[in-house]
């Protein structure tokens, strides 16, 4: 049988995208000059440009610098530089480049690291098969969004078992600095079963970018990922655009039929960048110095994620809470916009509990629609034990609680270690969602709590009932500890065997 050669047909650009690009193209030269510079705001005279347009600052004897229109002073545009300015003076030339920021996207972008403009920063050129799209898009219509009814595996037991995330859901990860947000994002990236992963690193330290890609994300995680980087030393307009660029790349993958995981770290630095631009444009400061435009842009950003008829974008937005205050303005606003929140607790991190997810303070609003009633009831029972222990922790720690006084507290104490076996996980370990659900079901089955003993009349009967309740709780806890330990060992063995099987294949 003769071999039939395969033809690699060229990929034609989308007709609608091409038509939109042509409509936004600048067909003639629009020029002006720098009138004044105040901080990071450049006022231009002798020309006009629409809000969001890209212009080019052209100081003599220096490289041209891109800037974006962020407002107007009467009829004069106010520009925010998107690149560092070497030198700029009044009277320098300004040229309109385009009416909107565009970038090139496509399947071959996977495994690449780009900046906020979509330009590669990993030392390799972009492929020729990429299509140019607009960074600014409107969110999908609310009535065109299918219901979220399928769970997405993250590989993190605390999330898959206790805070199940759905395909197309949007969640926030709330934590202070240095608690473990980036490590948790790396675990989710390596353990997810999403088709594509897009990561936006907004305002991160330059040192952390390389460490996250090499150590946290890893080679396997990078293969199906696109990383968009705008470090903390970049101008505010570029840091702001990085989140939009990552969302646009995720939207393109979604429209091609993929289930995409979008990770934005962090939306707080996105808000801080807009605060700088809003104040430079003359907006009045409101709560903690944030201008009104910040609270207008946040829903526009997060609403672009979600599920459509073509595909889905499941989004995790990290929120860097100031002073570990989960009620500060940005955290409070984002929590109201998302479909759930995952709170990282600094005390848990200090105890060596990783990932330090505070289960009682966290919630997935769609969990009951994603799991069976049996799993939902099991999660509720485990939550009750955790809350019971937290409420009595002070008494327990100082030795003021007497064993047998309350069977519910006794059961919570007995179940503490088995629950921690479920929730603690090494950063390199990935557990299948089915195994996480089995572990939480075993926990719930092993910790049935008897009713409070009757207190009427007979103190001896009450003490006897309390002793029986405590003995039952201890026996159930011992059985659960063995079951949970066996399941955890099986999960780690499975994770260790997975790279070997992949290498053999």
Q: What is the pLDDT of residues 126-181, one digit of tens each?
A: 988 899 888 988 899 999 999 999 999 999 999 999 999 999 999 999 999 889 89
Q: How far is it, in rounded angstroms, from Cα 354 to Cα 370?
A: 25
Q: Of 62 and 23, which is predicted with more confidence? A: 62
Q: Does 501 have pLDDT greater than 90? A: no
Q: Of 429 and 457, which is predicted with more confidence? A: 429
Q: Region 72-81: what's the mean pLDDT? A: 94
What does the domain layout of the chain look like in residue ranges? 30-99, 103-370, 378-446
Q: How far is it, in rounded angstroms, from Cα 219 to Cα 53?
A: 37
pLDDT at 93: 96
DSSP track, 120-172? B-SSSPPPTT-EEEES--PPPPGGGPPP--SEE--S-HHHHHHSPEETT-EEE
Q: What is the pLDDT of residues 212-264, one digit of tens each?
A: 888 888 888 888 899 999 999 999 999 999 999 999 999 999 999 999 999 99
pLDDT at 118: 93
Q: Does 7 have pLDDT greater than 60? A: no
Q: Is it true that 30-99 and 103-370 share their CATH fold?
A: no
DSSP track, 279-311? HHTTPPP-GGG--HHHHHHHHHHHTT-EE-SS-
Determine the CATH number of domain 378-446.
Answer: 1.20.1270.330
pLDDT tier for residue 497 given thresholds of 50, 70 and 90: very low
Q: What is the pLDDT of residues 444-491, one digit of tens each?
A: 988 544 444 443 334 444 444 444 544 454 445 545 545 554 555 554
Q: What is the pLDDT of residues 298-310, one digit of tens each?
A: 999 999 999 999 9
Q: How far is it, in rounded angstroms, from Cα 187 to Cα 431?
A: 10
Name which CATH class applies to 103-370: alpha beta
**Domain range 30-99, CATH architecture:** Beta Barrel (2.40)
């Amino acid at each position: 049988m003769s071999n039939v050669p395969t033809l690699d047909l060229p990929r034609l650009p989308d007709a609608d995208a091409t038509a939109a690009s042509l409509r936004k193209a600048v067909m003639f030269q629009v020029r002006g000059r720098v009138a004044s510079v105040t901080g990071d705001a450049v006022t231009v005279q002798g020309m006009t440009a629409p809000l969001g347009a890209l212009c080019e600052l052209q100081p003599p004897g220096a490289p041209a610098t891109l800037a974006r229109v962020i407002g107007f002073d009467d009829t004069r545009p106010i520009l925010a530089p998107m690149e560092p300015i070497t030198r700029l003076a009044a009277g320098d030339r300004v040229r309109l480049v385009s009416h909107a920021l565009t970038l090139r996207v496509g399947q071959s972008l996977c495994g690449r690291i780009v900046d906020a403009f979509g330009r590669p920063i990993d030392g390799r050129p972009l492929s020729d098969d990429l299509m140019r799209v607009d960074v600014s898009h409107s969110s999908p219509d609310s009535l065109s969004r299918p219901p979220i009814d399928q769970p997405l595996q993250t590989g993190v037991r605390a999330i898959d078992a206790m805070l199940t995330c759905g395909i197309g859901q949007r969640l926030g990860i709330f934590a202070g600095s240095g608690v473990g947000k980036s490590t948790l994002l790396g675990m989710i990236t390596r353990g997810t079963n999403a088709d594509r992963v897009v990561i936006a690193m907004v305002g991160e330290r330059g040192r952390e970018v390389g460490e996250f890609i090499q150590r946290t994300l890893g080679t396997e995680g990078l293969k199906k990922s696109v990383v968009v980087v705008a470090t903390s030393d970049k101008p505010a307009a570029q840091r702001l655009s990085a989140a939009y660029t990552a969302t646009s790349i995720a939207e393109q993958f979604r429209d091609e039929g993929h289930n995409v995981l979008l990770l934005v770290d962090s939306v707080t630095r996105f808000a801080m960048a807009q605060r700088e631009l809003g104040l430079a444009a003359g907006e009045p400061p409101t709560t903690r110095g944030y201008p009104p435009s910040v609270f207008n842009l946040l829903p526009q950003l997060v609403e672009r994620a979600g599920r459509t008829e073509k595909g889905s974008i499941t989004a995790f937005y990290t929120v860097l809470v100031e002073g570990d205050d989960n009620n500060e303005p940005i955290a409070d606003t984002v929590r109201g916009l998302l479909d759930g929140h995952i709170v990282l607790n600094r005390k848990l991190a200090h105890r060596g509990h990783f990932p330090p997810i505070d289960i009682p303070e966290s919630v997935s609003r769609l969990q009951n629609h994603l799991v069976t009633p049996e799993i939902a009831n099991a999660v509720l029972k485990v939550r009750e034990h955790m809350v019971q222990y937290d409420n009595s922790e002070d008494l327990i720690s100082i030795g003021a609680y007497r064993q047998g006084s309350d069977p519910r507290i006794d059961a919570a104490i007995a179940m503490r270690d088995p629950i921690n076996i479920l929730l603690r996980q090494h950063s390199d370990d990935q557990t299948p969602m089915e195994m996480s659900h089995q572990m939480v079901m075993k926990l719930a089955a092993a910790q049935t709590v008897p009713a409070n003993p009757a207190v009427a009349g007979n103190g001896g009967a009450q003490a006897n009932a309390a002793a029986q309740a405590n003995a039952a709780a201890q026996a159930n806890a011992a059985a659960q500890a063995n079951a949970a330990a066996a399941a955890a060992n099986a999960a780690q063995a499975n994770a260790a065997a997975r790279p070997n099987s992949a290498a053999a294949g």
